[in-house]
Amino acid sequence: MRPRLPSPLHELRDPRLTALGLRLALKRDDLIHPEVPGNKWRKLKYNLTAARERGQRTLLTFGGAYSNHLRATAAAGHALGLATVGVVRGEELAGRPLNPSLAFAVEHGMRLVFVDRATYRAKHTPQVLDRLLAVHGPAYLLPEGGSNEAAVRGCAELPAELGDDFDVVCVAVGTGGTLAGIAAGLPPGRRAIGFAVLKGGFLAAEVAELQRRTRGAPTDNWHVEHDFHHGGYARRGPELDTFLADFAARHDFAPEPIYVGKMLFGLFALAERGAFTPGTRLIAVITG
């Protein structure tokens, strides 16, 4: 199945925003492809091209137990006839039943390797990488979340699909590649806001470093909101659940809670605080 590009842009009419003089549209990147949706398609696009140009027949990458990136890499590799290896954080998971995300990856041919958290934290070091390649053979290495220079290049293509009728683009941030790319591709006078889904306050530095590696220096048209992670990755509480249930009832659309739900929660919270001047035209990227 070919990707659906440009992805649809749907106006969202919500009286809470209308009363504040704001407009919001959803950029439905989740509809790009049923198995490689959203920012995953954009982030993998040039990485997959590079792997094939280099003659690599295996993709080796990293993720947590519920990683959408592992799912997408497995599906993309399966479609292109490439072997895939997924290094999963948490060796204790090896003896447990696979959750739906990991089961999907295995069904699409991915070999899972469970490692302890100390090893996972050192996944970028030569010692860990050399050991993995010694076991699994030559491979094209994809970082956690797929965020590298090639991913930034792919995500930088998104703003060209938006036209001129917008002021601010909002997106969830897990590893930084999507925000780094979107901000790099924005026309003058527009801004991007990233909503961190992990606690720790480190993601702004990750975005800046990705832009530095890709462009030579960070752009000045973005920032990261660090206050809407709801406890950390894949964590949630009653406040977020209530918001998502209400959003689904209002708009007949249920955002996934790990990334998109937190971004939308943060966007509405900022709007209620008066962070956007009346007349601001917002776009929320639905990444998966």
Chain centroid to CA 24: 20
What is the Rg, in whole angstroms, of the alpha carbon atoms belonging to the chain?
19
Residue 259 pLDDT exceeds 80 = yes
Model confidence pTM above 0.75: yes
Mean pLDDT score, 99-118 = 96
pLDDT band per the 50, 70, 90 thresholds, residue 82: very high
Residue 250 in contact with residue 233, Cβ under 8 Å?
A: no
53-58: Cβ within 8 A, 24+ apart? 54/140, 56/82, 56/138, 56/139, 56/140, 57/82, 57/83, 58/82, 58/83, 58/84, 58/85, 58/136, 58/137, 58/138, 58/139, 58/140
Pairing between strand 168-173 and 281-285?
Answer: parallel
pLDDT of residue 282: 98
pLDDT band at 103 (very low <50, low <70, confident <90, very high): very high
- Residue 26: band (very low, low, confident or very high) from pLDDT cuts 50, 70, 90: very high
Instruction: Tell me how many degrees the CA angle 226-229-232 measures, rounded to the nearest 5.
Output: 115
- pLDDT bracket for residue 95 (50, 70, 90): confident
Q: Looking at 116-218, which runs of residues are DSSP E strands?
A: 140-141, 168-173, 191-196
Residue whose C-alpha is closest to residue 250's, from 11, 19, 13, 21: 13
Q: What is the mean pLDDT of residues 58-72?
A: 94
Q: What is the C-alpha separation between 10 and 177, in angstroms, rounded?
A: 24
Distance CA 204, CA 212 (A): 12
Q: Is the pLDDT of residue 1 over 70?
A: no
Q: Six-digit token pair at 158?
A: 């998104």
